[in-house]
Amino acid sequence: MTYPVHVIESKEKLDHCPVFQVNHYLWDSLRQPETFGQMAYLDGRGLFLRMTCMEQDPKREFQNHRDMVCKDSAMEAFFAFPDPNLRQTPPPSNDCLYLNFEINANGAMYAKYGPGRQGRQFITDEEYALTGAKAAIESDRWTAELLIPDPLLERLGLPKFKVKDTFFCNFYKIAEDPAILHFGAYHPIPVEKPNFHLPAHFARAEIVAPGKNTIS
């Protein structure tokens, strides 16, 4: 599957972008809360993402940046980027450079980057501030949004996005609390044990010109 990432000039235009569904529930999940989202490239600022979960009173004990929010109820976005020196975009390997952003209903976020699952590094406090990460709770749902800022991507050696550029991503809904255990993914992950840190099973995303709405 390929998710079309529209270039937008303001956050308000995200409402007109294609919706993705986090509907592959894995690994003996006890719950399957409906989860969906939208993503776009906010021109000159970074990838802008909003996710919504139809979950009442989500577990939300953690309060701070770098807390292990996956032990609460959390929504997550993982991104893998190809080597900018390559002419073609091969599927990522599991030890490629990727970023993970995990957020709970308090707006607390756990965000790291690195090649592979081991030895990953937290984004800086300044980069965390640039994300504008926040969450909002309503009676029947909660929503999280954040920006993956251009300065972070540039620091990692990635060029500014342009139309037809591609990268890889996956979106998740998780709760590791045994009482509400669940693992949901946008793109399926065909492994036996819980593991979201597998870029080889991320979906492809492509920066597209406005007006191209097809998700293939």
Is domain 2-208 given the CATH code 2.60.40.1190 in the classification?
Answer: yes
Is the model more confident about 175 or about 212?
A: 175
The type of residue at 106 is N
133-154, pLDDT tens digit by residue?
A: 999 999 999 999 999 999 999 9
Per-residue pLDDT for 56 more than 50? yes
pLDDT one-digit tens code per residue, 26-44? 999 999 999 999 999 998 8
Determine phi and psi for 52, rounding to 5 degrees.
-130, 140
Strands (E), the chain: 2-8, 19-21, 24-25, 35-42, 46-53, 73-80, 97-104, 109-115, 121-122, 134-137, 142-149, 166-175, 182-185, 203-208
CA–CA dist 26, 16 (Å, integer): 30
Rounded Cα distance between 24 and 172, Å, is: 9
Summarised one tens digit per residue, pLDDT across range 65-95 is: 999 999 999 999 999 987 666 555 667 878 7
Q: What is the mean pLDDT of residues 50-54?
A: 98
Q: What does the pLDDT read at residue 197? A: 93
pLDDT confidence of residue 157: 86
Distance CA 29, CA 35 (A): 14
Dihedral sign of CA atoms 50, 182, 79, 163 in order: negative
Neighbours of 34 (CB within 10 A): 14
Residue 51: pLDDT over 80: yes
Per-residue pLDDT at 216 = 42
Q: Is residue 15 helix, strand or coil? A: helix
DSSP 159: P
* Cβ neighbours for 195, distance < 8 A, ≥ 6 positions apart: 189
Is the CB of residue 145 less than 8 Å from the CB of residue 40? Answer: no
Q: Which residues of 105-134 are buried (b: 16+ CB within 10 A; e: fewer)?
A: bbbbbbbbbbeebeeeeebeeebbebbebe
Give me 5's structure tokens: 């990432």
In Å, what is the CA distance from 184 to each residue of 28, 158, 188, 206? 11, 29, 9, 23
Q: Which band of pLDDT confidence, cut at 50, 70 and 90, is reported for residue 6?
A: very high
Q: From CA 91, how far away is CA 89, in angstroms rounded?
A: 7
Ordered by start, the domain boundaries in the chain are 2-208
